[in-house]
Structure formats: C-alpha cells, structure tokens
Structure 1
Amino acid sequence: MGELTNMFTEGDLIIRPPFQRLFRWNDDQKSRLIESILIGIPLPSIFVAQDEEGRWELVDGLQRMSTLLQLQGLLDEASYPALTLIGTKYLPSMHGLVWDDPDDPTKALTPAQRRDIKRAKIDLKIVQRGSDPQTKFDLFQRLNSFGSKLSSAEIRNAQLVGVNPDFVEWLDELSAYDSFKTLVRLPESDLIKKYDQELVLRFLYLHELNDDEIRNIRNFQDGLEDFSVDLALNFSDDYRDKAGQIFKETFDRLASADEKILGRWDPTKMDFGGKFLNSSFEALAVSLGFLIRNELPTRTDLRQCAIEFWTLPEMTARFATGQSTEARLRKMVPAGREIISP
C-alpha cells in the first residue's frame, strides 16, 4: 500500500477526475475498509492500465484506493477533507480517529496502525494499454476466474479504460444523467458492480439494431463485448453528440411520462410497482431510442404504451422464468416498437 501511495504523490498513479467524482462510499464504508486492513482481512484486487509513458491509471478499485488516500489527507482537501474514522464492530475504539495529529496523538491512529496500513498487501493487476483489446478482455476474465469474482460490467469497464478512457468517461456521464438514474433506480450493490454502465451500453448497442438483427442475436454478451470494444476504438465526437442526444431524449420522455414506468404494471393498484425490470427497459427505452434514432413517429402517451405492454398475453406473472437474454430480446424489443409506433 505504501508504494501505491508514493506513486500517487509522485504522479505515477493516476486517478482521472471524472472517476474520482464516482467516489461515493460513506464514512461507515470507508471505516470498515480500514478495519478490514487492521484485522488482517485480504483486500480484493485493484486493476491499473499502464500508459505509453509507464504510468499506471486506476481502472478498478476506486473506492478502496480513494479511501486510503483520503485517510492520509492526500486527496483534494476542498472536495475530500481528511477522513475521520467511525467506530466499527471489531474496532469501536477507532471512532473519531484521524491518520495523524501531532498536537494530540490520542486522536490519531497509532504509529503501529499506520505502519500496518502502509504495509498492507494489495493484489495488483496490470494491463498494458497497447495490448490488443480482445486479448485484454480475455486476460481480465482469466484473472477474475482465479480470484474474487467481478461482474462482467466491472471487467468490461477495466478493459475499456485501457482501450479509450475518454469513452468510459462518457459512459459515466450518461449513467449519471438524472432521468436515467430516476428511471432505473439501481441499488448501491448494482452501482458498485457498474450495472448502470452495463445498461447504458445495452441501450447504445440495441437501439441501433432493427427487428431482424435483434432476432438474430445468438450470444448477447459476446455481441455486447464486440460492440463495446469497437465503439471505444472508433469513438468520435459525432457519435458522442448524436447518441448522447438520443439517450437523453429517450429517458427524458420516459421520465416525464412516469418515473416508475420501467417497473411492472399492477392493475389492482393502477400503478407501476416493484423494481426496475430489464424487460421494460428493452421494450420501452430501447424501442423508443430506435424510433427516435431513425426519425420515426412515436406515440406521446408513453405511460399508456407501458400499460399496454404489460397487458400482452405473454406478460404473465411467470414470464421470463428460464428465459435467456436472447429469447427475451426477441420478444420484448419488437413488441415494444410495435406498441410505441402510432
């Protein structure tokens, strides 16, 4: 850990500002990380991408690395004041402690505790930025199979940063768009696993495909990976502007219709309830995005469109049990496009 800290202060470990804005752990989560280190619990791997000058750019592990830097007072003081710890289950005596306090050592971690943190071992995975993108993705999958499991979205995020960090910054911007966040209402556990970025990529991938192309998808994850890498490699300002505008218009219109529109329609309550559902996302958001992209007419009563979608014969309480993503897409997307078209 001490070596990574030194690399950060010397400019050899880079945390890009757009990623730092995603530092969203609360003080309790940060304190539990410090507790884990002090009682000897191993930390998950951190991924970095090496640039052409040999510097390391943080790819995955932002919450952990930023917590350790904030504890030491090494982040921007205006945005991230030095961390004051909270008492934890196994170390309640940590409550109110800071990294160091020359005026009152009783308010700070002990020298032994600071040394334990500096000497903590963090497993580091390095990917060469010049590597072939598909090779890098395969490498992440292989490394992941030997350690603690990462989600496919986390692996993809690590890979894409190594291909084109500007593209990943743009995905972050879209995933933070207010209408999108309001509609998908993801729990913190999904946000940590970067499922919000997964949904953004799904929208970008699927909203370009016509019905026949949707029906011909044989392996959705492989198609999404190929699309993501290709888009990162060929990312342009024109694509950013056009696709970004379609994305925002799509989710603005859905949010204006009903902020819960991507949940299941409950006819007994005459309202949308429950959590966000992929089937609604595919039938409504992907379908609306396709129609907007191709400048085709759409109905304006999107709330009623969603109700009609849930009254289709196949949308029973048992729907999607055992359904593959590919089978679900073949039903949901064409059905949604037909309903939303006037």
Structure 2
Amino acid sequence: MSNNLLTKSITEQMQEEAEMQIREKKKVVDYNTIEYPIEVIVDKYLNGINDDSNEIFIPDYQREMAWDQVRQSKFIESILLGLPIPYIYVADISGEEEEENYSETKDGRLEIIDGTQRLRTLVNFLNNELQLDNLEKLKKLEGFRFSDLNIARQRRFKRTTLRVIQLSEEADEEARRDLFERINTGSVELNEMEKRRGIIRGAFLNVIDELARSERFINLCAFTEPSIRRVEPQEFVLRFFAFLNNYQEFNKYKNITEFLDKYLETMNRTDKNTLQSMKNEFYSMLDCVERYFPTGFRQGKNKDRTTTRIKFESLAVGIALALRQQDNLQLASVDFIDSKEFREYTSSNASSSRNKVIRRIEYVRDQILG
C-alpha cells in the first residue's frame, strides 16, 4: 500500500462522489437462478450439438477441455459426496442474430459464460469416457465408469441438480464478456491468452486462431497436446505479430501482458486487406523455416522437443524482418543457431528488457541477411 493511501483522509464530499460513481457505473443485469438436473443440462448441451442448434452451447472464446482425468474425477467425487458445486453461468442470446441470418433454431439459446470444464466432465462421465482415478474419499470407486455404478446410483446422479445463473436476453455481449473477465481474472485456471480469447474478441483474434491451427506451425514448434489445449499456439502467433510490428516500442509498456493486450486491441480494428497481408507474411516465414531449419523452432537437435517463447519469437521475427528486406532469401548456412551468442540471447534466463528483445531479434535478422 502506498504512503498516499495510508495518509489519505476521506471527506464527506469524497464519500458522496464515490457513491455517485457507484450508482453511475453499476450495471443492472437481470438474471434468474435455476436448478437443472444433471441429465437435463447434459441433454440441452448434446441435443443439436452437431448442427450448432443445441440449447446450451459453448462459445468459441471458451477454451477446449483442459481438466485432466484426476481433476475431472475430483469433480465427479464432489457431486457424489453432495458437496457444494460452483454455479454455472449462462446467458440468453435471443435477439443478437442479424435479421438475414435469423433462424428459429438459434433463438433462446444459452451461451455458457463459466462452467465449460464442469459441463464437459459431466458429458465424459455419463458417456463412460471418464474412468474415476485418484479419488480422495471414495476410494472404492477407483476405476469406475458411470455404467459401473448400480442403477439406483446412476439415477440419483442424473437427477442431482446444479444451480445455474441465467442472464436474461437484456444482458448484452459487453455484459457477458465483463462477467467472464471478472470470474476468471486472477484465476490459476486461465492463462493470459485464454483470458484474451474471452475478453478481447475481434477480427485479428480470429486470424490468430486460424494461424494457430496450422499443422505446419504446430509441427515446427512441436506443441504438445496439453499446450494446444492451453492455447499456447495462439500466444506464440500473437507474440510474433506484436514483436514483428512493434518490438522497438516494447519499453513503453509496464510488462509483456500489457504490451500484447494493447496490440491485440488495436489490431482487432484492422481492415481485412491488412489482416490478409499479415497471414501471408506469417506463412512466408514458415516457408523459410521449413526450407532452411531442419529442426524448425525446436530446442537443440531433438525433433520432439518443443520450443520456448523466446527462441520462437527471436527466430520467427528475425526471419520475417529479413524477408521484408529480401523476399527471395537464399540461405547458405544457419549455423548461427548453434552459436554461443544465440544460445545466450535465447536462454531460459534471458530477460525481456527492451534492449535484449531488440538485440536477439535483430541478431537473427542480421545473421540471415549476412
């Protein structure tokens, strides 16, 4: 706490101004609290999922399944023990479809704001795709699937109710995104890129998602399945463009998170032609890596070893900068990646100060240009 706060004296006028600001900024969000049996919640999610007409759906900004078997098992154990379960938050999206795209199958659907991991766990368990493991209290259920429970217990489980906070159709997209941010900011379960996908939506983020799914990109970086679920590829793509187009301004921001957030917010307002040019530049960079770097962005000589963020952004951005100066690059050697200098610039303890960011990116650029 700063000394200014310790010595600050709150006056009656300050109290009145604070109260006025609370009333001004307070969002009036209409909502209902509903209790649904597990069986009903799962049915509302699965019925129509293939043609995107399911009543309860997971929006694209929510992450994929991230809970491992143990985490899922612990959640199921909590339900079986009758322990309190966190609310699931959903929002009625009626009235948001453009008239030309209007479809009755879309009307009245419920977008999940928070609770996707719990819902997917329930689906996995009821579909016998989850085998309980590493339970804390119900040790005798180790190795059980849903179908292994006796019929009476199966019925009781399916009619166990979960509480759902349902925002009315009056809650606009801004209110939903704000709620998502406040639920998840500071949570150990979401990394910064996952938060961005829930908070800073836009055209550029759609491009990032598209590029992050490129098989070539995933293979060149050797991303693991867990890292893909945690949207690491998206983080790498965002870093590539942010440093490529703004690395000399890095010191204007208090940290890397603010640097990336501000860049993403700005680029979400970019026109389609610029975004297409950016995609082309990304793929050109990958072409160069595929052609001249046998192990891609991976660490060392091991083709199965994933890359680091520092090594990726140094190589990728340095290559792209070189291509901007000479689009028909012909490299005689890439031996510099085994040099003492490059290892030092991209080591795990290499800092992200402005000078060092510039040094390692421009080192790669200059080595490639010769």
> Do the aligned partners of 2:336 and 2:342 also contact (CA within 8 Å) in 1?
no
The answer to whether structure 1 residue 232 and structure 2 residue 275 are counterparts is no
For residue 285 of structure 1, report the CA deviation from its aligned partner. 0.7
**Counterpart mapping for 1:94-133 below 5 A:** 95=143, 97-98=145-146, 106=150, 110-116=154-160, 119-120=161-162, 130-131=173-174
Q: For 1:240-265, what per-residue CA distance to the aligned partner results, in whole angstroms no more than 9, with x for missing partners?
A: 43222322332243244345343455
Residue deviations 1:119-156 (CA, integer Å, cap 9, x gap): 245789999654399xx57x655544565552211211
From the superposition, tell whether residues 20 and 194 of structure 1 become closer, same or farther in structure 2 (CA, over 3 Å): closer
Within 5 A, what are the aligned runs for 1:181-260?
A: 181-209=218-246, 212-213=248-249, 219-234=255-270, 236=272, 238-258=273-293, 260=295
Question: 1:143-158 alignment to 2 at 5 Å?
Answer: 143-144=183-184, 147-158=187-198
| 3-state SS of 1:131 partner | helix
Aligned residues: 311
Name structure 1 gaps, 5 residues minimum.
73-81
Paired position in structure 1 for 2:18: none
Cα distance between partner residues in 2 of 1:84 and 1:259: 39
Which of 194, 203, 216 pairs up with 1:179?
216
In 2, the alpha carbon distance for the partners of 1:40 and 1:71 equals 17
Q: Deviations over 1:95-129 (max 9, x none)?
A: 46446xxxx9847952222233xx24578999965
1:306 aligns with 2:337: yes
Indicate whether 1:338 and 2:369 are aligned: no
Q: Which runs of 5+ in 2 are unaligned?
A: 1-35, 48-52, 97-107
Q: Secondary structure at the match of 1:57?
A: strand
Residue 277 of structure 1: aligned partner: 308
Tell me the distance in 1 between the aligned counterparts of 2:88 and 2:361: 37
When normalised by structure 1's length, the TM-score is 0.68
Q: CA RMSD in A?
A: 4.5
Using the alignment, how far apart are the partners of 1:253 and 1:277 within structure 2? 19
* Residue from 134, 140, 145 that aligns with 1:89: 134
Between structure 1 and structure 2, the one with the greater Rg is 2
Distance in 2, matches of 1:125 and 1:158, equals 17
- CA 1:258 to 1:40, structure 2 compared with 1: closer, same or farther past 3 Å? farther
Q: Per the alignment, in what secondary structure is the counterpart of residue 329 of structure 2?
A: coil
Name the structure 1 match of 2:101.
none
Q: Decide which moves more: 328-337 or 124-133.
A: 124-133
Aligned residue type for 2:119? M
- Pair 1:286-2:317 in alignment: yes
Residue 158 (structure 1) shift: 0.8
RCO greater where, 1 or 2, for CA within 8 Å and sep 6 or more? 2
Percent identity, aligned pairs only? 21
